[in-house]
Amino acid sequence: MPARLAAQALRQGATSSGLRLAPDQEAMVPVTGGRIYVRVNGALGGKPPILFIHGGPGSSHWSWLNATALADDRAVILYDQLDCGRSDRPGDPVNWTVARFLSEIEAIRVHFGIARWHVLGGSWGGTLALEYGATRPSALAGLVLQSPLISTEIWLRDAAELKAGMPADVRDLLDRCDTPGAAPQAECDAATAAFYARHVRQVIPPPAIAAYRDALPAPFAEGLYNHMWGRAEFTCTGTLKDYDGQPLLEQLDPKRTLFVAGQDDEARPATVANFAIAAGARFAEIPDAAHSIMLDNPAAYMDLLRPWLARQDA
């Protein structure tokens, strides 16, 4: 049943009008531990560009491709964190810390000589965006925290509530799968896929984006994910298990910060809205979307981002 449930929940995703699969420029930017891959669409030097930070830890930039449609108005910068996607992959856990991943953001800005920019992070990328925004860098024009991991304790509490809302057989299987060897791996994978189809990504990536993803050297760095997080989104055994960024919320610039969540997001909208209240910032919920908003409902996300970025430009 879990596999059938997952298959029924997924729909075909759409590509943004103006999607740009090919970058206008690329670079391998030196950072601590190696070099990271960065791609740019649009012209740097006009309106403040926007940097998108992918999640995971261990994902890659492909999930933001729909955002390249914004390049008709400003430069769009996508990148792969170290050990992800097209970046160098030294595979050394000494590099897998919040502070080192955070340092990549400023390395990108300095490399391209960007005086002022917007930063948007999703999920684990929202953690890095939070950490970056809390320093109130003078270069930051606007900050978007989409479906962010702010507190692992709160994330897991929400995940338990969402699991409780799954069909009984799926829920019970997911609970058993938290104990290694307690259930067949294939059944655990199917039950996890059922949860993901409801709360993580509700679409099959459109063919062009799926082909781009599949051509990446490392679309998903499983070792990095397992080290920092764990086996699945609703359980944490890794180095982020005690992460709590709530004290940083009051350090954000409330007038320049936007919190976003999908209607069915595993980062529950009510929780993300409460983080926004704590920061004194605005919150927006995107309909017909789970955690992967730029894939689930790119049109609605663009409709939110374009005017918000324009206001922050000033």
What mean pLDDT comes out for the span 255-268? 98
Q: So what's the pLDDT on residue 7? A: 44
171 is a domain residue: no
Task: Tell me whether residue 211 is in a domain.
Answer: yes
Residue 2 lies in a domain: no
Place of tokens 């409780």: 164
d(CA 98, CA 224) in angstroms, rounded, equals 12
pLDDT of residue 9: 63
Burial 256-278 (b: 16+ CB within 10 A, else e): bbbbbbbbbbbbbbebbbbbbeb
pLDDT at site 202: 96
| H or E element in which residue 38 lies | strand 34-41
The CA distance from 121 to 313, in Å, is 18
| Eight-class DSSP state of 62 | G
Q: How far apart (Å, rounded) are the C-alpha atoms in residues 52 and 63?
A: 10
Q: What does the pLDDT read at residue 36?
A: 98
- CATH number of domain containing 274: 3.40.50.1820
Q: Is residue 292 part of a domain?
A: yes
- Please state whether beta strands 25-31 and 257-262 pair in parallel, antiparallel, or not at all (unpaired): unpaired
- Rounded alpha-carbon distances, angstroms, from residue 170 to 5, 35, 236, 237, 291: 9, 41, 19, 21, 20
- The tens digit of pLDDT for each residue in 81-105 reads 999 999 999 999 999 999 999 999 9
Domain for residue 123, yes or no?
A: yes
Partners of 36 in the beta sheet?
Answer: 29
pLDDT confidence of 43, banded at 50, 70, 90? Answer: very high
* Domain membership flag for residue 301: yes
Q: How many Å is the maximal CA-CA distance in the chain?
A: 56
Residue 173 lies in a domain: no
pLDDT, tens only, 104-122? 999 999 999 999 999 999 9
Assess if residue 255 is contained within a domain: yes
Per-residue pLDDT of 125-156, as tens digits, reads 999 999 999 999 999 999 999 999 999 999 99
Q: What is the mean pLDDT of the chain?
A: 95
pTM as predicted: 0.96
For 25, the domain range is 17-163+204-313
For range 161-178, the mean pLDDT: 91
The structural domain count of the chain equals 1
Q: What confidence tens digit (pLDDT) does each residue in 228-243 have?
A: 999 899 899 999 999 9
pLDDT band at residue 314 using 50, 70 and 90 as cut-offs? confident
